Amino acid sequence: MMRPSMRKSDQMRPVSMETGINKWAEGSCLIKMGGTHVMCTASVELNQPLWKRQQNKTGGWVTAEYSMLPRANATRKGHEQMQKDHRSAEISRLIGRALRSVVDMELLGRHTINIDCDVIQGDGGTRCASITGGFVAMAMAVRWLMMRGRIHENPIREHVAAISAGLWNNELVLDLDYDEDCVAELDSNFVVADGGKFVEIQATGEQHPFTREQLESLMNMAATGCAQLIDLQKQVLE
C-alpha cells in the first residue's frame, strides 16, 4: 500500500535547514522536515549552570527546552497547558542528552549553551527535527565562542541527528508523518552520530510486540537516514 505522502518506504520527507534566522541568538536554525517546522536557537551564557558552580565542577554544559506553539497542531493548545505538558519535559531531556553526547564539556570551558526548540508546525517527528536542527544551532554557538577567543578548541567531537521509523500498515517505513504516526503498529526514534553510531533508541510496540529482526531493519534504515541528515548539516555549516 502506498504511503499517504506517496513516498517509498525508506524515503525521508523533503528536508531543509536555514541558519542565521534569529539575529539575537548566537546560533539559530529553522529546520523543515516535510510539514514539521522547528525553530532552534542556541543561547550562550558565559558561565556554568548554578548546580555545577555549587558542586565546584569543571567544564561547561548543554541543555535544551522543547515546546510547541499554541497552533502548531490541528487543535490550539494554550500557553498555560504547554507549561504543564510532561511530554515536552521528556522531549527536552532527550534533546539535551543527544546533544551532550557529542560535546566535550571540558573543552567547552565554563560556558552554558541553552538550546530552545520551538515547534512552529507539527506533522510528526518533531523531537527528531529538534535534535537535528538543534545540533546546527549549537555548532554555530560554539563557532561564536571560538571566534571571540572564549574557547580555543572545538568541543564538538562529531555530528548527531535523529529520525523516526516504524511499522505502518505492516510495512517498515522511515520518517513517519502525523498520519502514519497516529496508526503505526511500531513507533521508534533513533539518535545517530557520525559513522552510524547510535546514541539513543526509543521503540514501542503500539499494538503488539516486535521482533529483533524488525528492530535491526529499522536501525539500518535510520542509520542511512541520519547519515543523509548529517551530510546536510555539514553543508549548511560550511
Reduce the DSSP state of residue 190 to 3 states and report it: strand
What architecture is the 15-236 domain classified under in CATH?
A: 2-Layer Sandwich (3.30)
The 10 Å Cβ neighbour count of residue 50 is 9
The residue among 231, 22, 41, 23 whose CA lies nearest residue 133 is 41
- 238 residues of the chain, pLDDT tens digit each: 689 889 999 999 999 999 999 999 999 999 999 999 999 999 999 999 999 999 999 999 999 999 999 878 778 877 656 665 789 999 999 999 999 999 999 999 999 999 999 999 999 999 999 999 999 999 999 999 999 999 999 999 999 999 999 999 999 999 999 999 999 999 999 999 999 999 999 999 988 899 999 999 999 999 999 999 999 999 999 9
Phi and psi, residue 175, nearest 5°: 60, 70
pLDDT, position 76: 83
Residue with cell 571540558: 106
Q: What angle do CA 22, 25, 31 make, to 5 degrees?
A: 50
Give the predicted TM-score (pTM) of the model. 0.95
Domain boundaries, the chain: 15-236
Smallest Cα–Cα separation from 165: which of 123, 222, 214? 222
pLDDT of residue 142: 98
pLDDT score recorded for residue 189:
98
| Region at 6 (left for phi over 0; alpha for psi -120 to 50; beta for the rest) | left
pLDDT tens figures, 14-35: 999 999 999 999 999 999 999 9
